[in-house]
Amino acid sequence: MIVPLLRGLRLTLKRFFSRPVTIQYPEQKREVAPRWRGVHFFERNEKGDTRCVACGLCVAVCPSNCIHLVAVELESGERYPETYEINVTRCIFCGFCAEACPVNAIKLGKNYEFVDYRREDFVLDKERLLANAPKEG
Ligand code: SF4
Ligand code: SF4
């Protein structure tokens, strides 16, 4: 009877003097793993616009069917996404879209903090995807 009690107390004391594994979130934050897949963002081209060429490969490969793309052809013959939206409430953050993109336009960033009140605020359009790009430095 006394032995299990002493064992339990020993474990309690050991934990009491060891370094805590918890952190004071949100004041303190941990580095996420290098392969972490967070909220999407668009890479920019040299004109500062999205690199996306509206090929539709990300739409085809997305298992959740959560990317909505409307492509247009410019006078120069280039394709451009008139509408590009990702519904992150349906997204499973598999990263297939980023892997399939031939021009590395769509990527998954490190941000895991995205909360909001309305469902429509979880639909990332072109502007929001461009704004989500990580800041240099
Ligand atoms: S991460 Fe996966 S589920 Fe989410 S948009 Fe990309 S392909 Fe679709
Ligand atoms: S994000 Fe990449 S894969 Fe998706 S439509 Fe644009 S260029 Fe194609």
By percentage, how much of the chain surpasses pLDDT 70? Answer: 99
Nearest alpha-carbon partner for 44 in 111, 110, 104, 99: 104
State yes or no: pLDDT of 11 exceeds 90.
yes
Are 78 and 53 spatial neighbours (Cβ–Cβ below 8 Å)? yes
Residue of the nearest CA to atom 6 in ligand 2?
52
100: β partners: none
The model's pTM is: 0.85
| Cα 107 to ligand 1 centroid, rounded to whole Å | 10
State the average pLDDT for the chain: 94
What is the C-alpha to C-alpha distance for residues 71 and 103, in angstroms, rounded to an integer?
16
Go through the domains of the chain in sequence order and give each one's CATH number: 24-131 (3.30.70.3270)
**CA–CA distance from 93 to each of 31, 35, 87 (Å)?**
18, 12, 11
pLDDT tens for 89-102 read: 999 999 999 999 99
Six-digit token string for 88? 């992150």
Are 42 and 133 spatial neighbours (Cβ–Cβ below 8 Å)? yes
| Cα 76 to ligand 1 centroid, rounded to whole Å | 30
State yes or no: pLDDT of 25 exceeds 80.
yes
State yes or no: pLDDT of 116 exceeds 80.
yes
Q: Candidates 50, 106, 107: which one to mutate for ligand 2, based on the most atoms within 8 Å of Cβ?
A: 106
At residue 46, the pLDDT reads 94
Mean pLDDT of 3-29: 92
Mean pLDDT of 105-134: 95
State yes or no: pLDDT of 8 exceeds 70.
yes
Mean pLDDT of 14-41: 92
Mean pLDDT of 67-94: 95
State yes or no: pLDDT of 137 exceeds 70.
no
